[in-house]
Structure 1
């Protein structure tokens, strides 16, 4: 079963590190996917495959959000440019779509690998939960 809390926290970590990593182009985004995937896998725990799955989901979510943000920006620029700008942004959109798909795959894959490492380091998923919510 998917631990969506782990996925969302991993995605948020990747987003924050990615925003801070803009100062170091390329390396900052690579580190964002690694940190986010590791956190998602570690929080989910349960071993290699469970960590891999949660890291993959956190990275894929990051890729989808980044793609939507880029599409929104290109759409606004095209809208502001009138009919000619709309046509040019439509043409550019095809290339941007290809780049976003590639970036999403890379981000999801690196997050999945880091998530697998995090899942191995926290092989017991119950250890990451607070003991105050346990009923006796």
Structure 2
């Protein structure tokens, strides 16, 4: 009986490790640059409020003045909702400023730090948001 329990426990831990490690690796940010790139006067072309990550597609000018189409990934909608986002936060045609960590491989994509809306208000990402390079975190136990 004890050997059956031991084998079952070891098998369970092995499966947990095999499944858990790739999931953890998926949520890393190694694919993105360490510096923030800012796109001013970006025009939203699509806002996908979907799991596992909400996506904002936008057109903006790069450093050469050429219009580029970019896609920026955020946290999951459930996490964004906790810090003030809604599925109507941005819409196609909105002009925003996008602060993001661009993909290291040169693809026109990245991870959001924050957006600044036309009225001057901003919306941060939950994992990399804040003005201090991702040091700001949502604290559900805070009184603020």
TM-score (norm 1): 0.23
Q: Which has the higher strand share?
A: 2
Q: Which protein shows a greater Rg? A: 2
Higher relative contact order (CA 8 A, sep 6+): 1
Q: TM-score, normalised by structure 2?
A: 0.22
